Amino acid sequence: MPLPPPAVIPARKQAVSYWLPWSLLAAGMLARLVVAQSVFLNPDEALHYLLSVQPSLALTYRATLTTAHPPLLIVLLHYWSVLGTSEWMLRLPSVLAGTAFCGVMFLWLERVTNRTTALIGLTLLLFSPALIHLSAEIRQYALLQFFAACSLYFLERGVGESSPRMVLCSALALYLALLCHYASFLFALTLGLYALLRIRSAKAPAGVVIAWVAGQLGALAEVGFLLVTHVALLKARGAPQAIADSYLRGSIYHATEDRPLVFVARNSLRFFHYLFSQGAVGTVGLLLFILGVVLLIRDRELGHDEARPTSLLLGLLLAFPLVFNCGAALLGIYPYGGTHHDSYLAGFAMAGIAVALARWTVSNPWVKPLTIAAVLAICNLFPSPTGQYIQAKDQDRKWMSQAAQSLQSLPPGSVIFTDDQGGLLLSYYLCHSLVSQVQRPFQPFQNSPCGRHRIIALSPDEWIFEAKSFPDDLQAVQRAYGLPSGSTVWLFQAGWLIDKEEDLHAVLRQYGAGKPQKFGQNILLWPLLLP
């Protein structure tokens, strides 16, 4: 067969090069939409939506002060929910932001490195199991990632093109990131230090410097406002300490229990395990990240002109965020490890891995992309996540639908006793109004109407049912609401798995009034006979 004309091959390659990033973005967005459509809400997602259902913007903002996050997501949901309140519709802003984050990081990587590195980084970000699921949830993290990436990209354009307008766009994106999540404080510190070095190395004109200084002053004012109006409230009610002593305990350094170097090494492995949902792949990812940073710091391949950063400066930028976050964990300020709270680091981590993989030379050009695709497929098909999670098969929407049908079929006037996370899910799926408490001071139990039934929900301070306290809780509910001995109360529990669950089930069997119903492994409906 004769060879095609020489001009055909470059044209074909140019078309492939143009369409490949768009094809990857479409596939990544589709993966996120599938997850958003197929699983029921977790308790945090339900809480974010329920807080947004307020009659005015002012009341919505007041509701955000009860959470541990800045107000942007809940205010956005306040208006977005006009379009619909189904799971996938409420998750759509996160899906769009999570996909767009990957696209902006591709543009930034292409600008500061090369197209091969950018394509590898785009692939890793789009098909990281953790990032797929995180951007298919009603959470702040996808918005944070998107605005942080925009701030980084516009800053690079502003300095490289000597454009004060782009620098101001970077500042605006940073302001929005600060309104998403308090991890943005660490990102702002990273970006500020990098900007100082970048402006100095590029000998930026006065207009760029003035625009950057003005943007930083605005960011400092915003940080001050958040510290005074919200963070002070969180500290006053002990929220940071309560979190550090509970489910994030392993991600905060404790001087009496940990050694600094062991903590850093262990939690760095946990973070990369989180990104890939596989321990072995996460370990390789950490090693590749370190290699990528070292290669950048040691060589001078990049930075031959002032339009992009030097290789040394880029290596420092990728390392700064992880170092700062780790330092914050050692000081007890912010968690570091296998948790979604550190997902804002994903862009830097995957960029470092992409730098190392781009330098990997192979004789067959198909070996590298096929290897990356195979590893990511294994991570997604056989996940082993860290931290709190619900397995995909147990978070199928059909389980919640069946549970809601069973609850609706209970006799009129039935009493449903639930913990705080179960109450949040009942609020969305059954009652269509908030039956859990969000405003302090909390009562031990809240009694709320729910259609033909009554919901009695545990205080958020207690949060979940525990074997040691359940008999006292049940007795207190019986006394408080005059429930007659021998009557039936329906225990409902849904959300994340709890500690010592088998111990709790052993206690529940003592009150058994019938066979419990399980809907997957994370939804339980159990009839209890009051003593």
Residue 43 falls within a domain, yes or no?
A: yes
Domain boundary (352, 381, 410) is at 381
Q: What are the E-state strand segments in 302-414?
A: none
- Please give the average per-residue pLDDT across 121-142, as a whole number: 97
User: For residues 362 and 340, what is the distance between their CA atoms, to the nearest angstrom?
Assistant: 35
Same domain, yes or no, for 407 and 273?
A: no
Q: What percent of the chain has pLDDT over 90?
A: 74
pLDDT in tens, 157-199: 999 999 999 999 999 999 999 999 999 999 999 999 999 999 9
Same domain, yes or no, for 348 and 234?
A: yes
Half-sphere exposure at residue 492, Cβ-oriented, CA atoms within 13 angstroms: 28
pLDDT in tens, 383-430: 988 766 788 889 999 999 999 999 999 999 999 999 999 999 999 999
What one-letter code names the amino acid at 370? L
Residue 5 falls within a domain, yes or no?
A: no
pLDDT level of residue 100 (50, 70, 90 thresholds) = very high
pLDDT level of residue 224 (50, 70, 90 thresholds) = very high
Half-sphere exposure at residue 197, Cβ-oriented, CA atoms within 13 angstroms: 17
- Please give the average per-residue pLDDT across 300-305, as a whole number: 54
Domain boundary (381, 406, 424) is at 381
Q: Counting Cβ atoms within 10 Å, is residue 5 exposed (0-12), middle (13-18) or buried (19+)?
A: exposed
Q: Is the pLDDT of residue 270 over 90?
A: yes
Same domain, yes or no, for 182 and 314?
A: yes
Q: Residue 216: which of 124, 278, 151 has the closest Cα? A: 151
Give whole-number Cα distances, 271 to 141, 186, 275, in Å. 15, 16, 6
Same domain, yes or no, for 33 and 98?
A: yes
Secondary structure class of 493 (helix, strand, coil)? strand
Same domain, yes or no, for 92 and 237?
A: yes
Same domain, yes or no, for 61 and 169?
A: yes
Residue 4 falls within a domain, yes or no?
A: no
Q: Is the pLDDT of residue 252 over 80?
A: yes
pLDDT in tens, 145-160: 999 999 999 999 999 9
Residue in the block written with tokens 């993290």: 141
Residue 205 falls within a domain, yes or no?
A: yes
User: For residues 429 and 399, what is the distance between their CA atoms, to the nearest angstrom?
Assistant: 12
Same domain, yes or no, for 169 and 240?
A: yes
User: For residues 373 and 394, what is the distance between their CA atoms, to the nearest angstrom?
Assistant: 26
Please check whether residue 512 is in contact with residue 528, taking contact to mean a CB–CB distance below 8 angstroms: yes
Same domain, yes or no, for 364 and 397?
A: no
Domain boundary (334, 355, 381) is at 381
User: For residues 415 and 12, what is the distance between their CA atoms, to the nearest angstrom?
Assistant: 67
User: 376 is written with which tokens?
Assistant: 């990511």
Determine the pLDDT at residue 246.
62
Report the number of distinct structural domains present in the chain: 2
Determine the pLDDT at residue 44.
93
Determine the pLDDT at residue 251.
82
Same domain, yes or no, for 335 and 447?
A: no
Give phi and psi for 222, each to the nearest 5. -65, -45
Determine the pLDDT at residue 6.
46
Q: Is the pLDDT of residue 357 over 90?
A: yes
pLDDT level of residue 365 (50, 70, 90 thresholds) = confident
User: For residues 496 and 522, what is the distance between their CA atoms, to the nearest angstrom?
Assistant: 7
Q: Which residue has the higher pLDDT, 247 or 430?
A: 430
Same domain, yes or no, for 376 and 498?
A: no
Residue 9 falls within a domain, yes or no?
A: no
Residue 2 falls within a domain, yes or no?
A: no
Residue 98 falls within a domain, yes or no?
A: yes
Q: Is the pLDDT of residue 66 over 50?
A: yes
Residue 275 falls within a domain, yes or no?
A: yes
Residue in the block written with tokens 């350094």: 253
User: For residues 128 and 506, what is the distance between their CA atoms, to the nearest angstrom?
Assistant: 39
User: For residues 97 and 78, what is the distance between their CA atoms, to the nearest angstrom?
Assistant: 17
Same domain, yes or no, for 410 and 318?
A: no
Farthest-apart Cα atoms in the chain, separation = 91
Average pLDDT, rounded, for the chain: 91
Least confident span in 8-17, 42-51, 212-221: 8-17
pTM above 0.85, yes or no: yes
Give phi and psi for 355, each to the nearest 5. -60, -45
Could you list the residue range(s) of the whole structural domain that residue 119 is in? 16-381
Give phi and psi for 396, each to the nearest 5. -60, 140
What one-letter code names the amino acid at 313? L
User: For residues 391 and 219, what is the distance between their CA atoms, to the nearest angstrom?
Assistant: 39
Q: Residue 129: which of 346, 374, 380 has the closest Cα? A: 380
Q: Residue 456: which of 411, 417, 428, 490 has the closest Cα? A: 417
Determine the pLDDT at residue 488.
92
Same domain, yes or no, for 200 and 307?
A: yes
Determine the pLDDT at residue 256.
80
pLDDT level of residue 304 (50, 70, 90 thresholds) = low
pLDDT level of residue 2 (50, 70, 90 thresholds) = very low
Sheet containing 488-494: give its strands across. Answer: 445-450, 453-458, 415-418, 488-494, 523-529, 517-518
Q: Which residue has the higher pLDDT, 468 or 171?
A: 171
